[in-house]
Structure 1
Amino acid sequence: MSTSIWIVIVVIALIVGAVFGFFMARRSMETYLKKNPPISEEMMKSMMTSMGQKPSQKKLAQMMAQMKNQQK
């Protein structure tokens, strides 16, 4: 085979690998964020307490629901 054919094969393989890698990284990041949300209820509770608010369970549930809706 000539050198130009090998160059074309290498370029195509790089493009396919980059596209496949992008989608695999995106999928793994989405599953990671679903399992480990960036802010938990305990973090939210301590944040509200430090701001001088008394967090009720209803208020925490509402704020967590809002955050989940924003992620979607």
Structure 2
Amino acid sequence: MWPIIIAAVIGILAGAVIGFFVARWYMKKYFQDNPPISADMVKQMMSQMGQKPSQKKLNQVMASMKAQQKKNN
């Protein structure tokens, strides 16, 4: 009886650890492919803050966000 219980506990723990790393890998890949903030969203935020969003400024903001994302990876 005890070997079955120990095997079940080890199986549950191994499944949780493997599931965590698979989910982490999937989310990293998802956010690299689909960034949470797009240029249109940045443009809207700048307009709401009262700034006139020029293309140059948008490119600077997006470049800084990409650099920060690469720095964090």
TM-score bucket of the superposed structures, by smaller chain: 0.7 to 0.9
Identity %: 56
CA RMSD of aligned residues (A): 1.2
- TM-superposed CA distance for 1:69, in Å, is 2.8
Q: Which residue of 1 aligns with 2:22?
A: 24
- TM-superposed CA distance for 1:43, in Å, is 0.6
Distance 2:35 2:49 in 1: 22
- TM-superposed CA distance for 1:5, in Å, is 0.6
Q: 1:67 aligns with which of 52, 60, 65?
A: 65
Distance 2:48 2:8 in 1: 56
- TM-superposed CA distance for 1:39, in Å, is 0.9
Distance 1:14 1:66 in 2: 42
Q: Which amino acid aligns with 2:57?
A: K
Moved over 6 A (4+): none
Give the number of aligned pairs: 70
- TM-score, normalising length from structure 2? 0.84
Q: Which residue of 2 aligns with 1:34?
A: 32
Structure 2 residue ranges without an equivalent (≥5): none
Distance 2:31 2:61 in 1: 17
- TM-superposed CA distance for 1:47, in Å, is 1.1
- TM-score, normalising length from structure 1? 0.85
**2:42 is the alignment partner of 1:53:** no
